[in-house]
Amino acid sequence: MLKKADDADKKLSKMSPEHKNLQMQSETLARLQSEIRTMDSDIMTEEAALGDFKRTATRMWMGLKFGGLLECSEKGTVSLIHFTM
């Protein structure tokens, strides 16, 4: 997409104001630049969502892991108390 926009910009810069396709080339360049801005925005949104997902998944995983460790240590403590009595 960037290459297309660069090519359109180069082509437009070579055109004289009297060229019959100047308006069409200007519109093409504007459309491509708009699409690039939209895609950049979409990418930033998706990257933020991915970061949020990773944090949430890590938080859940850590909760399960440490919850399991807590449960295991509590059972070990209870077993040790019954064993010493």
pLDDT tens for each residue of 2-25? 777 777 777 767 777 777 777 888
For the chain, what percentages of helix, strand and coil (3-state, to nearest 5) are there? 90, 0, 10
The more confidently predicted of residues 31 and 8 is: 31
The model carries a pTM of 0.57
State the pLDDT at residue 80.
58
Locate the domains of the chain by residue range: 2-11+23-84
pLDDT score of 20:
74
Q: What percent of the chain clears pLDDT 90, i.e. is strictly above it?
A: 44
- Identity at 50, one-letter amino acid code: L
Nearest of 40, 42, 29, 38 to residue 3 by alpha carbon: 29
